[in-house]
Amino acid sequence: MATIAFFAPLGAGHVNPQLGLIAELVRRGHRVTFATDESNAPRVAETGAEIVPWTSTWESLDTGDAPQMHGKELVRAMGLLLEETRAALPQLDGGERPDLVVHDGTMCWWGRILAERWQVPSVETWPNLVGNDHWSMHHDYTTVNPLSFGFLRTGVRLARFLRKEGFGDVRAFMRGDRAAVRLVMLPRAFQYAGETFGDGYVFVGPGLSERAGEGGWEPPGDGRPVLLVSLGTAYNHRPDFYRTVLDAARDRPWHVVLAVGGVDPATLGPIPPNVEVHARVPQLAVLRHARAFVTHAGMGSTMESLHFGVPMVAVPQMAEQRANADRIAELGLGQALPADGVTGAALWEAIEGVAADERVRERLRWMHGELAAAGGAGAAADEVERVLN
């Protein structure tokens, strides 16, 4: 039995993709610890992992102030991540030395640093599209001026910090070159230029966990098709969009489940009788019954929708989500709409279009096969054990 330490930033899109892997490793007899905050602790504990509590600097941030991942906002995001890393290290370095570190590869810089300090191997989980010389998010969806004062200043601060931690090559650190393997939590078929990624990347697909603590959900039983609408846990302060959904849903022969995050439902106007409004919903439970999904196209939600074979209408809210939305449309798994200016008529036309399209259903069946072939949590656990051995 090995002791495996897991690390991830607070966001559900980074925590949830690891839960199935954790549960599988625990089932195989390994001892797993997971460093997280109180908001994530209940669903992590369901997997059998031991919770290592710590306090994040992001807990006090307003979700409406989450930085975009391009231009000056990307520079701000890098600054926030550097400060989060500085705060995490002294809290998490005092524990016992594990046999292996598994950490989120996108944002969890402290996972890379702790594995180096402890001199143990590491495995990275990438819950998003990955990049190489053939395709990169930064080439197509994000822009930043590398000569801007803000970018240069942040780059110097990061380089100085990393040198003190024993990392002389900033680019190698950012790529995660130290990792024994990168587990990409999507099938290779969904990745742009997927065939060009070599042995360092293993596309295992999503390893979904039950997440029973989120609660269950059942449709009303009147036979109406179910539509789920959610813009995720960040970038979701969109009261105008929610009003558009409510107005468009009125008198439609659908049952709509609408998640509005921190927006007060009382500010949205009259709620039609065929719509239920919640701050958050048990997404997996609703998707089991859904005929269509209006989504921000976060990769976690995208993979969950594909797992249940639910066609998507993607309304992305930031750069990474735009890349996912374009891929959804390109592969025929749904439609993509612009983030702003969506009318109720256009939205409902897209919903009914994807729900009725036999071609979309065919492509969803194909992608479901790709997810199954990727292996999910079992394949990911095999890779972790290969590194341990």
> Could you report the per-residue pLDDT of 64-98, keeping only the tens digit for each?
555 555 455 677 778 889 999 999 999 999 878 99
For residue 194, what is the DSSP state? G
Same domain for 152 and 77, yes or no, is yes
Quick one: average pLDDT of 159-168? 91
Across 40-66, average pLDDT: 83
The whole-number pLDDT of residue 352 equals 97
Tell me, what's the pLDDT at 67? Answer: 57
Residue 170 sits in which domain range? 3-210+374-388
Same domain, 242 and 125: no
Question: Structural domain tally of the chain?
Answer: 2
The first and second tokens of residue 54, run together, are 């710590």
Q: Which long-range contacts (CB under 8 A, 24 or more apart) does 382-389 make?
A: 383/123, 383/181, 383/183, 383/202, 383/204, 384/4, 384/21, 384/25, 384/100, 384/102, 384/123, 385/28, 386/181, 387/100, 387/121, 387/123, 387/180, 387/181, 388/2, 388/4, 388/99, 388/100, 388/121
Dihedral (CA of 286, 276, 363, 124) sign: negative
CA torsion angle 325 328 329 333 (round to 10): -140
Let me know whether 169 and 284 are in one domain: no
Strand 226-230 versus strand 290-295 pairing type: parallel
The C-alpha atoms of residue 19 and residue 292 are separated, in whole angstroms, by 25
272: which DSSP letter?
P
pTM: 0.92
Res 144: pLDDT:
63
48 Cβ contact partners less than 8 Å away, ≥ 6 residues apart: 22, 23, 26, 27, 32
Alpha helices in the chain (DSSP H): 12-27, 41-45, 71-92, 109-118, 137-140, 149-164, 170-175, 239-249, 283-287, 299-307, 319-330, 344-356, 358-374, 376-388
Judged by average pLDDT, the poorest of 124-128, 167-171, 210-214 is 210-214
* 234 and 184 in a common domain: no
Structure tokens at 98: 């594990």
Q: Considering the chain, what percentage of its residues have pLDDT values greater than 70? A: 94
At 153 the pLDDT is 82
User: What pLDDT was estimated at residue 70?
Assistant: 46
The burial class, CB within 10 Å (0-12 / 13-18 / 19+), for 18 is buried
CATH number at residue 359: 3.40.50.2000
Q: What's the mean pLDDT when you consider all of the chain? A: 92
Residues 239, 211 contacting (CB under 8 angstroms): no
Q: What is the pLDDT of residue 61?
A: 61
- Burial label for 90, CB within 10 Å (0-12, 13-18, 19+), is exposed
Intra-chain end-to-end CA distance of the chain, in Å: 11
Q: Locate 13 and state its tokens.
A: 């899109």
What average pLDDT score do residues 141-156 get? 72
Instruction: Report the C-alpha gap between 301 and 357 in whole angstroms.
Output: 21
Query: Do 280 and 230 fall within a single domain?
Result: yes
- Residue indicated by tokens 């960040």: 234
Helix (H) or strand (E) holding 123: strand 122-126
pLDDT on residue 379: 98
User: What is the pLDDT, as a whole number, of residue 46?
Assistant: 94
- Residue 154's pLDDT band (cuts 50, 70, 90): confident
Instruction: Look up residue 211 and give its amino acid.
Output: R
Structure token digits, residue 126: 């990438």
Pick the residue with more confidence: 165 or 61?
165
Question: Which pLDDT band, with edges at 50, 70 and 90, does 381 fall under?
Answer: very high
Could you report the per-residue pLDDT of 191-215, keeping only the tens digit for each?
Answer: 999 999 998 899 999 988 877 777 8
Same domain as 31, residue 111: yes
How many residues in the chain? 389
What order do you get walking across the sheet with 100-104 strand by strand?
50-53, 31-36, 3-7, 100-104, 122-126, 181-184, 201-203
Total Cβ atoms within 10 A of residue 340: 10
Residues 198 and 221 in one domain: no
Query: Within this chain, do residues 45 and 188 fall inside the same structural domain, yes or no?
Result: yes
236-258 tens-digit pLDDT: 899 999 999 999 999 999 999 99
253 and 225 both lie in a single domain: yes
φ/ψ of residue 249, rounded to 5: -80, -20
Q: In one letter, which amino acid is 223? A: G
Q: Is the domain of 51 the same as that of 200?
A: yes
Is the confidence at residue 308, as pLDDT, over 60?
yes
Q: Residue 226 in 3-state DSSP?
A: strand
Residues 107 and 198 in one domain: yes
- Assess whether 381 and 361 both reside in one domain: no
Q: How confident is the model at residue 100 (pLDDT cuts 50, 70, 90)?
A: very high
317-351 pLDDT tens trace: 988 999 999 999 999 999 999 988 899 999 999 99
